[in-house]
A and B are shown apart, each in its own frame.
Chain A
Amino acid sequence: MTTLAPPAVRVQEPTAAKGGRSGSVGWMAIPALLMFFAFAVVPLVGVFVLSFTTWDSIGPIHPSGLTSWKAALGDKELLHSVYVTFLIMGLSWLAQTPLSILIGVFLAARKRYRGILAVLYFIPLLLSSAAISITYKALLDPNFGIGAGLSLDFLNQDWLGNSTLAVSVLVFVVSWQYIPFHSLIYQGAVRQIPTSMYEAAEIDGAGRWRAFWSITLPQIRYTIVTSSTLMVVGSLTFFDLIFVLTGGGPGNSTRALALEMYQTGFMANQMGPASAIAVILVLVGLLLAQLLRRLGGKGDESQLEGA
């Protein structure tokens, strides 16, 4: 560990430091800023502008003021899509987080075969959405799938044709794909916790369960925030898996916002309202990210602590 500067010296630093101290950092943000500006901001502005037009994606673009916004906001389906999006977001967070923590803890304990397990657990992450949806479609087929294969009739449900089941299946498949990733994050975090803390707890007579609640969880708090941010933000623009697995169906029970946007724009040829939906998505994402940052206790950017 390095030694801290004695307080006396530090008091003199701030005045000279405020302007010049971190002056040489600004340039480090330039590359990212440029790339982001060119390929994300400019297109986003384009989308924003498009939301004030009427365009069928193949003909000329007609500026049309608020027409597309009115169409998008007035569509009952939009509200339903928002509901579906948050439903899937909430359910997948609930399904993934506890399980990932548990598995992360499980993997963090040092046992030899757990090394192999970690490799095997990782496989779902490597598969593309197309591969996963084809696999699950086959497994969930009511006549040829897992129910028939294992001769367990109760597994022969109308998995993708029943609204409730379809949502559950989606949450399950997403969890199947991403729990490995989050458990990897948690595994790393849990391994950071000094064993001394557990030893102290044992001396105090705390059982394993108590140790988990009082030591493990608090220590991985920031990891939970990071993992949750990834989950929540990821699920906003969640598209590929839903599109191939259920197409938004049955009916509209799995039509999340990203799908609503795609169907409005690319299938029904209404790019104006679709762009409006996209803008809404971006704003919701921004809101959620800010929310999560506050929850994470990182506070505001404007702290002048660096000086």
Chain B
Amino acid sequence: MTNSNFSRRNFLGLAAGAAGAAALAACGSSGPSDKSGGGSSKGGASYWSLSGPPGEAVRQATVERFNKANPDTKITATFFQNDPYKQKIKTALGAGQAPTMIWGWGGGGLKSYVDANQVLDLTDWIGQNAAVKDKILDSSFGAATVNGKIYALPIETVQPIVLFYNKKVFDQVGVKPPQSYGDILDLIPKFKAKKIAPFSLAGQSRWTNMMWLEFMLDRNAGSEVFNNVFAGKAGSWSDPAVLDMLTKIQALVKADAFEKGFSSVTADSNADQALLYTGKAAMMVHGSWSYGIQQANGGTFVKDGGLGWMNFPPIDGGKGDPSNTVGNPGQYLSISSKASAAEQDVAKKFFSTTLVDDDEKAGWVKSGGVPVLKNADALYTGDDAQYLKDMAAIASGAKSFAQSWDQALSPTAAEVLLDNIAKLFQLQVSPQQWVDAMNGVIGK
């Protein structure tokens, strides 16, 4: 039973403090007042994309270039981190607050936008602007096409999946890089004997495991099987080549082809990359962007010529074309169908000018990537020249450049896919169970 003075004074103090904080917060709302959701301000357009290196700097520069040339119709760019972006864009779309230009990965995700009538059909526009289409690699348009129509412009870079290897480790053990899948199987015990993990794998990330399935199935059976799945043909996964591939993968796991505890490692910490450049692992199947990471984090590893790379080797007796590759045939930009006509025009202008100009090409090469824009060869100079040229050759020389399965399929099916892949590598499901589970979500 104490301090009665305390209460009134403190109450006023508290109230003042809270009111002050709330006022400060409200001050924030006196900012761009017509900013509702992704809507643009003053006759420009809005653009959402991913933040962080290496891409953000290039995207920022692109937008600035456009704004300089078009001061009356500026683009406002906002950048979000990868996973939060996926949630934010869906919330925005669901609430009718999407930005004018929607960045994405094409494929099944794009299809879900199309089915919801959220994105513009660009087929006619591209037909009328053939010059734009000609500047972009043809194979990149596949993932931008839904039901025969084009709904997005391929932009930024192509990212094939590649087999990287540590040359120093190979020399140490006295073996040569594998030329076939059989060679891989031979190499496994040799590296194990020297306590080196044959392959580095970030098993917890799931999509990293998926890359293995993608290549193994393609080398084994060609692109048909997955194309059937993608087309929605019932029971497509029941092709015997699939069971064979799944069994092979589980055999790899049982043979300890991957590093100890691989199911605990995620890709975003780059611990899997570290295994390669520290020589704890001999090889790694990963996206082409790994080159940049190896360079930045591996000290002098890349500079000293320690990093080797090649397309995934063929499987003996497999039907797939050895030039085929998988990965991201591009990144994709769509135009919101709910944006105003003026905003859509700004977007189209962006598409036809800045996004396909030479500075764009140079910017992406500088970031260490292979642009979706054609004829970048002359730009591949310097230390990374050989790598970039090889990547470009893989990308353009591939008979088929398949899109990553989790992007090609609908989000619903993709979730089931990744889930089952994780269980497969955990040896928690049998190949047949995997096939049955996946058949169950075809066309969903």
Chain A nearest CB: distance from B395 CB in Å?
A: 29
- Interface size for B (C-beta < 8 A) is 40
A158 adjacent to B260 (CB under 8 Å): yes
Assess whether A228 is interfacial by the CB under 8 Å rule.
no
Chain B nearest CB: distance from A102 CB in Å?
A: 31
Q: A59-B118, A251-B426 are in contact. Are A160 and B263 (CB under 8 A)?
A: yes
Assess whether B213 is interfacial by the CB under 8 Å rule.
no
Chain A nearest CB: distance from B244 CB in Å?
A: 23
B271 adjacent to A144 (CB under 8 Å): yes
Q: Is the interface of A mostly helix, strand, loop or mixed?
A: loop
A206-248 contact mask (Cβ, 8 Å, vs B): 1 or 0: 0000000000000000000000000000000000000000110
Chain A nearest CB: distance from B102 CB in Å?
A: 10
A267 adjacent to B93 (CB under 8 Å): no
Stretch at the interface among B40-48, B109-117, B162-170, B286-294: B109-117
A251 adjacent to B422 (CB under 8 Å): yes
Q: How far is the CA of A252 from the CA of B428 in the complex (A)?
A: 11
Chain A nearest CB: distance from B4 CB in Å?
A: 13
* Across-interface contacts of B115 in A (CB, < 8 A): 56, 59
Stretch at the interface among B50-58, B139-147, B359-367, B411-419: B411-419
* Across-interface contacts of B117 in A (CB, < 8 A): 59
Q: How far is the CA of A161 from the CA of B260 in the complex (A)?
A: 10
- Interface size for A (C-beta < 8 A) is 35
Q: How far is the CA of A143 from the CA of B87 in the complex (A)?
A: 32
Q: From the candidates B113, B204, B269, B410, name the one contacting A58 in the complex (CB within 8 A).
A: B113
B181-224 contact mask (Cβ, 8 Å, vs A): 1 or 0: 00000000000000000000001101000000000000000000
Stretch at the interface among A83-91, A132-140, A281-289: A132-140
Which residues of B pack against A, CB within 8 Å? 1, 86-87, 90-91, 93-94, 112-113, 115-118, 203-204, 206, 259-266, 269, 271, 274-275, 280, 410-412, 414-416, 419, 422-423, 426, 428
28 of the cross-chain contacts (CB-CB < 8 Å) are A56-B112, A56-B115, A57-B90, A58-B90, A58-B94, A58-B112, A58-B116, A60-B116, A134-B269, A137-B269, A138-B269, A138-B271, A141-B264, A141-B265, A141-B269, A142-B259, A142-B260, A143-B280, A144-B274, A158-B260, A158-B261, A158-B264, A159-B264, A161-B262, A161-B265, A249-B422, A251-B419, A269-B410
Which residues of A pack against B, CB within 8 Å? 1-2, 55-60, 134, 137-138, 140-144, 156-162, 246-247, 249-252, 263, 266-270
